Structure 1
Amino acid sequence: MQTHLLDGDDVENYSPMTTLVSAIEDAFAAYQTGDAQMPPKSYIELPEYNGDFRSMPAYMDAGDWDAAGIKWVNVHPDNPEDHDLPTVMGTMIYSDPETGFPLAIMDGTELTMRRTGAAAAVATDYLAVEDASSMGIIGAGVQSYTQLEAIAQVRDIEEVVVSDLDDERVAAFVSHFEDEFDIRSGSIAEAASCDVLSTVTPVREPVVSADDLGEHTHVNAMGADAEGKQELATEVLQNAKVVIDDYDQTTHSGEINVPFHDGDLTDDDIDAQIGEIVTGEANGRTSDDGVTVFDSTGLAIQDVAAAHVVYEAASAEEEETQTPSLLSVGN
């Protein structure tokens, strides 16, 4: 057997977004129905380096296939300025559940970005208005690119407004997508008033107020990934239909963690987990809904599902060409 070594370009090439969105939807369903094992994400805090490590193992049975894996990921906010490295880096080990053999070791950074975009797309498909055509993005870092790429697969996005304090990042983002969308820079309020909004920032003080949002805006709150982080004003969460990816993770380190711990939100303010909506146990958007919020912390089952997509595509290409990949090694 061979262990495939797949870099970031491979991960991107072997994970078409339409296939990836479907796989992430399957992962949410498997988690909800109990066909997945996902121990809590574990943290190694490194305050002396202003960073941390996280380990994320999971196994899922999606019916036609099953898969297991673990992602080792870091978050070091000082990396870009101090070390010319990304804030977030990761490595994914994808294993055969039957034998434990490591089928692939792949770049977890690109995998994280793509599965995060796909998760937002799944939520958007169930929670945004059907005729959504405008999208706002707050935070023009690397995670923002797959937000737009993925959400454009589930809604006919025409107009895009991007807001970030860094003008160079905004310019790069606009340049990247200017041939595909009517895209421009704008204020937070302009971005937040769109039909769909993705917030992808590391802030610890809310940047989006209730007044900023449109009457029926769907918000993908993607940035909060640690205690103390919050992108949306508590009032937004109190008045919105709030859907989470996982109760333990979101109450510990997701968008709702601060108001939840302060007592400003309770269990009664959480409408559903996304898996409940995917499986039909709870409603997605209804005619009575105004603002909806998806609180996404990122689940290990998403990484396993995405790794499965990448591995299957890489293996299929190798089989078709009858030549081993240069990034494969024999064991």
Structure 2
Amino acid sequence: METLLLSSEDVRENATMDDVIPAVRDAFAAYERGTALMPPKSYVDLDQYNGDFRAMPAYLDAGDWEAAGIKWVNVHPDNPTDHDLPTVMGTMIYSDPETALPLSIMDGTELTMKRTGAAAAVATDELAVEDASTLGIVGAGIQSYTQVEAIAAVRPIREIVVSDLDDDRVRRFIDHFDDRFDVRSGAVADAASCDVLSTVTPVREPIVDLDDLGEHTHVNAMGADAEGKQELTADVIREAKLAIDDHAQTTHSGEINVPYTTGAITDDDIYADIGEIVVGAAEGRTSDDGITVFDSTGLAIQDVATAHIAYHAATAHGNGTEFDLLGLGEPRSAR
């Protein structure tokens, strides 16, 4: 009856992309088929600290496996400068659906990066051209690394163009990947012209215009995770075949939240949920498609699916630290 404590290193080692990508695909499918429960993401806004907390619970039954859990995550943009802490940190509680026993408490930051990359990979696999070999990255922060890792698992990526205002981040990114890919820095337009583009920035004014994109570019819009954030112009959204992860979240805080709220786009501009495409209820890329866009806000079902992979792999490998969180191994004192 012990709980397994998994550090960021434990999550990194055990939640491999080869396993996480199909698990996240299963989660999208379960959500579409109605075998997942995911209450709305709950926000605790802390304006005095220029930050917020988010609570993300979910349960899913993927057929061969089921899982439940909740992620408690923050976004504090001033952390790196003012406190030498990451902007985003998280903690995941992974529970047994039958008994509610907390099976594991694990680092949610590494888990978030893994599942975010995996979501982009699922969308890329469905919506990008089959022979996509060039990848553009706008925003060279920590999220960009798992975008590369995941997308390269589903497409034969050979060349990467990275764009970021911070030269140090660009250098670190290039140093990290230059032994595996042909990597170079470039402007936003250079990155956007690639076969696949992932945008992972916190901007509130669009930085990618329709003219920047290639004729058949697939875009993973990953950065917008709060009201007012927007990386792509409304022209891109209107022109593209648009898939979203969840209507409520994307219209509230995803890439489309601003143009949707102002009426610049409507539901008619949304092609499908990614889950519909995964289960075959809607087509992915066809020969007639030009630009495609995936608006990803990040769903709790993705976190639970990734936690499922991390926990079971760690258990199989003997990783992590077991502890008696509930005191079930000791006689309970009388009250």
Shorter-chain TM-score bucket reads: over 0.9
Q: Which residue of 2 aligns with 1:239?
A: 239
Aligned amino acid, residue 59 of structure 1: Y
Aligned pairs for 1:117-266 (under 5 A) are 117-266=117-266
- Say if 2:24 is the partner of 1:30: no
**CA–CA separation in structure 2 for the residues paired with 1:129 and 1:28:** 21
Q: In structure 2, do the counterparts of structure 1 residues 100 and 147 end up closer, same or farther at CA, with 3 Å as the change threshold?
A: same
1:87 CA drift (Å): 0.4
> For 1:88, what is the secondary structure of its paired residue?
coil
2:323 aligned to which of 283, 308, 329: 329
**CA–CA separation in structure 1 for the residues paired with 2:127 and 2:83:** 39
> For 1:132, what is the secondary structure of its paired residue?
coil
**CA–CA separation in structure 2 for the residues paired with 1:141 and 1:83:** 17
Q: Is the 8 A contact 2:314 2:320 kept in 1?
A: no
TM-score, reference length from structure 2? 0.96
**CA–CA separation in structure 2 for the residues paired with 1:159 and 1:317:** 35
Q: Is the 8 A contact 2:7 2:320 kept in 1?
A: no
**CA–CA separation in structure 1 for the residues paired with 2:110 and 2:221:** 20
Q: Which residue of 1 aligns with 2:292?
A: 292
1:118 CA drift (Å): 0.4
1:150-189: CA deviations, max 9, x gaps?
A: 0000000000000000000000000000100000111101
Aligned amino acid, residue 118 of structure 1: A
Q: Which residue of 1 aligns with 2:277?
A: 277
Aligned amino acid, residue 115 of structure 2: R
- Say if 2:79 is the partner of 1:79: yes
Q: Which residue of 2 aligns with 1:2?
A: 2
1:207-253: CA deviations, max 9, x gaps?
A: 00000000000000000000000000110001100000000000000
1:64 CA drift (Å): 1.0
1:124-163: CA deviations, max 9, x gaps?
A: 0000000000000000000000000000000000000000
1:18 CA drift (Å): 1.0
1:327 CA drift (Å): 1.3
Q: Which residue of 2 aligns with 1:108?
A: 108
Q: Which residue of 2 aligns with 1:304?
A: 304
1:305 CA drift (Å): 0.1
Q: Is the 8 A contact 2:241 2:271 kept in 1?
A: yes
**CA–CA separation in structure 2 for the residues paired with 1:78 and 1:288:** 44
Aligned pairs for 1:314-325 (under 5 A) are 314-318=314-318, 325=319
Aligned amino acid, residue 147 of structure 1: Q
1:2 CA drift (Å): 1.4
**CA–CA separation in structure 2 for the residues paired with 1:244 and 1:326:** 35
Q: Which residue of 1 aligns with 2:45?
A: 45
Aligned amino acid, residue 254 of structure 1: G
How many aligned positions are there? 325
**CA–CA separation in structure 1 for the residues paired with 2:121 and 2:26:** 13
**CA–CA separation in structure 2 for the residues paired with 1:171 and 1:326:** 33
Q: Which residue of 1 aligns with 2:331?
A: none
**CA–CA separation in structure 2 for the residues paired with 1:215 and 1:254:** 24
1:317 CA drift (Å): 1.3
**CA–CA separation in structure 1 for the residues paired with 2:266 and 2:233:** 15
**Which runs of 4 or more aligned residues in structure 1 lie more than 3 Å from their structure 2 counterparts after TM superposition?**
none
**CA–CA separation in structure 2 for the residues paired with 1:289 and 1:264:** 22
> For 1:198, what is the secondary structure of its paired residue?
strand
**CA–CA separation in structure 2 for the residues paired with 1:50 and 1:286:** 43
RMSD: 0.6
**CA–CA separation in structure 2 for the residues paired with 1:179 and 1:289:** 33
Q: Indicate the percent of aligned positions where both proteins have the same amino acid.
A: 72
**CA–CA separation in structure 2 for the residues paired with 1:28 and 1:177:** 29
Q: Is the 8 A contact 2:6 2:320 kept in 1?
A: no
**CA–CA separation in structure 2 for the residues paired with 1:237 and 1:222:** 14
Q: Which residue of 2 aligns with 1:64?
A: 64
**CA–CA separation in structure 1 for the residues paired with 2:148 and 2:231:** 19
**CA–CA separation in structure 2 for the residues paired with 1:39 and 1:250:** 15
1:115 CA drift (Å): 0.4
1:326 CA drift (Å): 5.7
**CA–CA separation in structure 1 for the residues paired with 2:48 and 2:54:** 16
Q: Which residue of 2 aligns with 1:20?
A: 20
Q: Is the 8 A contact 2:68 2:304 kept in 1?
A: yes
